Amino acid sequence: MTEALLRWFRREGRDLPWRRTTDPYAVWISEVMLQQTQVQTVIPFWERWMAAFPNVTVLARAPLRRVLKLWEGLGYYSRARHLHQAARIIVQEHQGAFPDDYDAILSLPGIGRYTAGAICSIAFDQPRPILDGNIIRVLTRLHGIGGDAKTGPVNRKLWELAQGWVEMAHRCRSDRPCAALNQALMELGATLCRPKQPVCEACPVQPRCVAWRTGRIAHYPQVAPRPAITQRQFVAFVPAHRERLLVWRRPAGVVNGQLWEFPNVEITDLPKPDLAKLARTCCGAKPTLLEPLCTLVHSITRYRIRIRAYRVILPRKPAGARRESRWGTVQQLEQLAFPSAHRRIFTAFQQSVAPRAALLRGSRATAGTGTQLPDAVIDVKHA
């Protein structure tokens, strides 16, 4: 089975950019980006990252704000912060050379058993197992293993099986067999042994697959039910004054810490909130214009979050801020890293002012660029 799987992977494995290298740094970046994110989404991010930070030393020297900016759009920003911290540790403690020792790798921030195993096997061809959602699906079906696959004894059993597979590969006379075996298991789960409608007729291990032989594919894997979804409601404001917009910086140590966002507040037990009052509280001054901009819904872990965003014009910049904030033109704020929801609000704002800018440019040659229009919004409204 091991040799059949290795042959299949060498023949059918996708040509992904990080598979063309054995550089542990490049493998590490790809494995961290691929957590919670689809391969096709990761490819341009990985390429941009490798162009900007081609090695550990460059990453370690980069300011965190630049690291977060390059991560913008991938979400789960703690991953980027951990990459940055780990790069600094590698430079300080390993003179910039990526360690090849499993325990040394595992001790780095943000690196767990899966990522350490992936780096050791893919970059250094060591017989270290990996177990992610794709491999859990393959192994539970192939070996007919029921019970909660994500925790407890069943999970331990799956790690043992993954270890057995990679040790078996290690004995094969093949080029870099441990690297190929772990990637083959991942590839099988991603391309053939899919959650729904697996392509068993093309599967290299089909003759030995318990789930296929017993017709119980849908029975595996078994996982505990997900926690119930919690709905949360927010309102956000895009406050403008004289071609500048106000943003806040989230504090360190919270979700999306140190990223920038528009002033916002969570709405609880208020079916019809007093928007003008909320805007005044959030923005620090009574608005002269308050109008709907967009509504968006997004999910973070078990939270389903609905944000209603409003465009706000302030007659003056409020004195004193109760948290770290910044006024900037659209072009200046483009340099900052936003969580994805607030990036979408920012994009909606720019799209909403662009047609007004064109209108204004047609009637008044001095309007400036289309993305510097908070004041122009007032002009158009009053025109």
Contact positions toward ligand SF4, by CB under 6 A? Answer: 138, 141-142, 192-193, 198, 200, 203, 205-206, 209, 211-212, 217
In the complex, what is the shortest distance from the CB of residue 105 to ligand SF4, in angstroms, rounded to a whole number?
A: 29
Pair 235, 278: CB distance under 8 Å: yes
31 as an active site residue: the answer is: yes
Residue 220 beta carbon to ligand SF4: minimum distance, rounded to whole angstroms: 8
313 contacts: CB under 8 Å, gap ≥ 6: 239, 240, 241, 287, 288, 289, 374, 377, 378
**Which of 12, 31, 167, 334 is labelled catalytic?**
31
> Nearest approach, Cβ of 142 to ligand SF4 (angstroms)?
5
**What end-to-end distance do the CA atoms of the chain give, in Å?**
75
Inter-helix orientation angle 39-52/24-34, to 10°: 140
Residue whose CB is less far from ligand SF4, 189 or 374: 189
Rounded to whole angstroms, how far apart are CA atoms 58 and 257? Answer: 23
| Nearest distance, CB of residue 139 and ligand SF4, angstroms | 9
Task: Give the burial class of 155: count Cβ atoms within 10 A of its Cβ; 0-12 exposed, 13-18 middle, 19 or more buried.
Answer: middle
Distance (Å, rounded) from C-alpha 228 to C-alpha 239?
Answer: 35
Residue closer to ligand SF4 by CB (options 90, 209) is 209
Query: Closest CB to ligand SF4 among 157 and 176?
Result: 157
Q: Which own/partner pairs from 23-28 qualify as long-range (CB within 8 Å, at least 24 positions apart)? A: 23/123, 24/98, 24/100, 24/119, 24/123, 24/124, 25/55, 25/56, 25/98, 26/50, 27/118, 27/119, 27/122, 27/123, 28/83, 28/98, 28/111, 28/115, 28/119, 28/123
Separation CA 133–CA 190 (nearest Å): 9
Element (H, E) at 40: helix 39-52
Between 59 and 209, name the residue whose CB sits nearer to ligand SF4: 209
* 2 vs 372, beta carbon nearer ligand SF4: 2
Closest separation in Å from C-beta 175 to ligand SF4: 24
- Return the structure tokens found at 288: 């002269």
Beta carbons of 131 and 161 less than 8 angstroms apart: no
Shortest Å, Cβ 120 to ligand SF4:
25
Nearer Cβ to ligand SF4 (142/330): 142
Active site residues: 31
